[in-house]
Amino acid sequence: MAELIGAAHRPRAVDVHEQPHQLSARIGRLGVPVLPRTVVLSVAWVVVLALFAALGSTVTPYDPLQQELQARNVPPVWLEGGGWDHVFGTDQLGHDVLSRVMVSVRPTLTIGVTASLIALVTGTLLGLVAGYFRGPADGLIMLLADSQLAIPSLVIAIAAVAAFGQSIAILIVLAGFSGWMGFARTVRSSVLTLRSRDFVVSSRALGADDLRILYRHVLPNIASIVIVLITIQFRSLILFEAALSFLGLGVPPPQPSWGSMINGGRDYLLSSWWISVIPGIALMLTVLTVSLIGDWLRDVLDPTLREAS
Amino acid sequence: MGSIGKIVIPRLGRAIVTLWLVVTVVFVVLRFSGDPVSLLLPSDASQQQVQALRVELGLDESIPVQYGRFILEVVKGDLGESLRFNQPALDLVLDRFPATALLALVAFTVAAVVGLGVGSLTAFARGSVLDRAAIALMGILQSAPSFFLGIMLILLFSVELGWFPTSGYGSPSQLVLPALTLSALTLASIARITRTSLLDVLRADYIRTARSKGLPERLIWSRHALRNAALPLTTTLGLELAELLAGAVIVETVFAWPGIGRLAIDSVAARDYPVVQAAVLLIATIFVIINLLVDLSYLALDPRTRNG
């Protein structure tokens, strides 16, 4: 065993970044980065989702709320008994699964995008204030961030939904304010190192005021790290919404959502597994594609963030 | 003694501030969500019942007085009566605690043992096929939401193979699928962090020194590499245990596991607000205690952080 370990390690334990990252950007002949195929496919999936969200129920094959009692638990087209009228089958009440998966995109993306924006704006502003001005504001903001990080947002969400009831607005507020801490902490630590850099110091010596320094020097330098954080945040907020919907605390019925569809099919796993599995695959694909896009952006925008792989 | 106090007190203070913030959020949520009486009483309650509860809850007092009373009650552990079971809410939640603790601890043990194993193995065999396959599998585990993973496990092991029951509580075979589901995400993060911190440690100067003075590989690993890689891991392990508790809320619902999480979710549906409140406060308290212990154990393990 000791031999094997030594052989595997001795000559190589120098640089953890030596292996080319799977998604690293190659620069093409015109200086334009060549997009890896996985990223192209991921972007394509996200574009399709955006179209579904924009068009809503106008493009679904069926009315997603319409129950067809003669066509309950119809299997998807590739299984025996399935047909092209219901490509992904129907659920226990005769809803068309494909139509419901398609209309679920709108609440998911609405909540994900709006909540990410709330988290982005509050987190970045608070991080800037904490890192640039320091003092008691810094202490207070970091205390709040650490305290909130110490409590799972799902638990706070349970209390809030119990009191206010289910609604898209509550979900946006809960998700938005569960995600600001990551932005605040990262922005703060970048600002702390930027503050003492030569270009900021000399700019101040030349008489620039705080607002100008923040706008001209600090913001452009934290832009790339913030963009990467947005993808991470967006992904975890989509999962947050799906988990709440699964628990029956998320998107209010009768509006379908992936999380509640997965939950709804749980009692029919023995006979009609597709009711849960199809929306589950849609959710996983979405989470995976957002991660892949995020990894790629991270490599392109800020190679120092790349994890040892 | 003085220096220990200087280290422990700020962290203890932060833990108390966190708990105070949670209690305040619960109070604000309760107060701004409309009339608490309508939450606490069934919708067909009579006018007299409403009035009696108003006085009993002190709703005729000013908001600061109500807030003070609320904090006092929480400190005393008086969280009201369940509306469904006519029992103190805290007792109901505490009754469910062993089930959640069992699930979380088994899942945590699986995740820690397998995660540390996979992490060290992939660090040993860096760049091999095994390493790449393990990284890909961990990536998939990390992007699968636990409720969907649980359903896929039920489909495979209960519906197709019939090895384990789909749900329930009591026998060891009923524990297998919930524990596996809950451990997945934690297992993946522990494996990833073990691998990264081992690789980091192996680049350090003292490892090169140990090698150049001819120390056998076995001793380099046991004396230098593993011991130093253990530091960042302690923090991770503690925080992951806390995350596991949050994940248990979801996994308990998937497998009908009678723990605190499922009680909380059922109580939301039944509008049993005192029980929801007690469950939220209990989970938050456990979280804060784990975080505090992680902080303190880090101090005990790493002398460098003691002066900061």
| Residue-level pLDDT at A14 | 34
CA distance B3 to chain A (A): 22
- Best to test chain B binding among A1, A3, A9 (most B CBs inside 10 Å): A9
pLDDT exceeds cutoff 80 at B154: yes
Least confident of B39-43, B268-272, B281-285: B39-43
Q: Rounded to the nearest 10 degrees, how much is the dihedral formed by the CA atoms of A228, A233, A234, A240?
A: 160
Per the CB < 8 Å rule, is A8 touching B125? yes
Per the CB < 8 Å rule, is A3 touching B250? no
For residues A280 and A262, the answer to whether their CB atoms sit within 8 Å is yes
Q: What integer is the mean pLDDT of A276-291?
A: 90
| Residue-level pLDDT at B3 | 65
Per the CB < 8 Å rule, is B269 touching A1? no
pLDDT exceeds cutoff 90 at B272: no
| Residue-level pLDDT at B33 | 65
In chain A, what are the domains? Answer: 104-304 (1.10.3720.10)
Map tokens 């995600």 to a residue. Answer: A179
Taking only the tens place, the pLDDT of each residue in A80-118 is 877 788 878 888 887 888 888 888 899 999 999 999 999
Integer Cα distance of B37 and B76 in angstroms: 22
- Helix B260-269 / helix B226-254 crossing angle, nearest 10 deg: 40
CA distance A252 to chain B (A): 13
Integer Cα distance of A177 and A120 in angstroms: 10
| Residue-level pLDDT at B39 | 64
Report which of residues B204 and A242 the model is more confident about: A242
Greatest distance between any 2 Cα atoms in chain A: 79
Least CB-CB distance to A266: which of B124, B151, B276? B151
Q: What integer is the mean pLDDT of A140-150?
A: 84
CA distance B184 to chain A (A): 15
Least CB-CB distance to B287: which of A16, A152, A283? A152
Integer Cα distance of A121 and B212 in angstroms: 52
Per the CB < 8 Å rule, is A163 touching B218? no
Provide the percentage of residues in chain B whose pLDDT is more than 90.
Answer: 9
Taking only the tens place, the pLDDT of each residue in A184-212 is 988 888 888 888 888 888 888 888 888 88
- Partners of B204 on chain A (C-beta within 8 Å) are none
Q: What integer is the mean pLDDT of A139-153?
A: 83
Sequence-distant (6+) residues with CB within 8 A of B184 are B111, B141, B144, B146, B149
Sequence-distant (6+) residues with CB within 8 A of A216 are A203, A208
* Average per-residue pLDDT for chain A: 80
ipTM field = 0.80
Per the CB < 8 Å rule, is A9 touching B127? no
C-alpha to C-alpha distances, A115 to A119, A172, A228, nearest whole angstrom:
6, 5, 16
Least CB-CB distance to B202: which of A9, A148, A284? A9
The secondary structure of residue A63, as a DSSP letter, is -
Taking only the tens place, the pLDDT of each residue in B49-100 is 777 777 776 777 778 888 888 888 888 888 888 878 888 889 999 999 999 9
pLDDT exceeds cutoff 60 at B201: yes
Residue type, B258: P
Task: Judge residue A211's burial from the number of C-beta atoms within 10 Å of its C-beta, 0-12 exposed, 13-18 middle, 19 or more buried.
Answer: exposed
pLDDT exceeds cutoff 60 at A120: yes
CATH class of B104-259: mainly alpha
Per the CB < 8 Å rule, is B124 touching A163? no
Per the CB < 8 Å rule, is B199 touching A10? no
Query: What DSSP element (H or E) covers A34?
Result: strand A33-34
Integer Cα distance of B301 and B306 in angstroms: 10
For residues A246 and B147, the answer to whether their CB atoms sit within 8 Å is yes
| Residue-level pLDDT at A29 | 53
| Residue-level pLDDT at A16 | 38
Q: What are the structural domain ranges in chain B? A: 104-259
Taking only the tens place, the pLDDT of each residue in A220-244 is 888 888 888 898 889 889 999 999 9
| Residue-level pLDDT at B304 | 65
Q: Rounded to the nearest 10 degrees, how much is the dihedral formed by the CA atoms of B213, B219, B223, B225?
A: 90
| Residue-level pLDDT at B308 | 45
- Partners of B135 on chain A (C-beta within 8 Å) are 309
Q: What integer is the mean pLDDT of B173-190?
A: 87
Least CB-CB distance to A160: which of B29, B126, B271? B29
Tokens of A71: 């066509």
Report which of residues A129 and B40 the model is more confident about: A129
Least CB-CB distance to A146: which of B14, B29, B254? B14
Nearest in space to B107 (alpha carbons), one of B43, B161, B177: B177
First to last CA, chain A: 23
Integer Cα distance of A188 and A194 in angstroms: 10
Count contacts between A and B (CB, < 8 Å). Answer: 156
Per the CB < 8 Å rule, is A5 touching B207? no
